[in-house]
Structure 1
C-alpha cells in the first residue's frame, strides 16, 4: 500500500504540473489557483495516509534500536 500511495502522489504531481502549465499559457489564473488548492489538499490527504502506513515500520525499527 505504501508503494501505491507514492505512485498516486507522483501521478498527482505530474498531472498538476501539466494542467497548471497549460492553464497558465491560456491566462486562466483563477482556475490555476483552484486546481493548485485542490491538488494540495489531495496531496495532504495522500501524505497523511502514507505516514499512517509507515508508522508501524518506524516504531518497529525504533524498538529494535532501543532494545538490542
Structure 2
C-alpha cells in the first residue's frame, strides 16, 4: 500500500507545510511525514501512537503552536 499524503486544511501559509499519510497507521503502525515543498525528498515514518500523542498535544495547546 502506498502512502496517500495530504496537507491540513489549515495549511494556507504559502507552502511552508508538512504532509502526512494517515492511511498507513492501521496497517503499518506508522504515519509517514514529509516536507510539502519537496515531495520527492525524505520521509520520516513516525510511530502511529506517537503521532496521535503529538496531535492531541497540539489540540490541547501544550506544544506552544496552533
Higher relative contact order (CA 8 A, sep 6+): 1
Q: What's the TM-score, normalizing by structure 1?
A: 0.31
Greater strand fraction, Structure 1 or Structure 2: 2
Q: What's the TM-score, normalizing by structure 2?
A: 0.32
Greater helix fraction, Structure 1 or Structure 2: 1
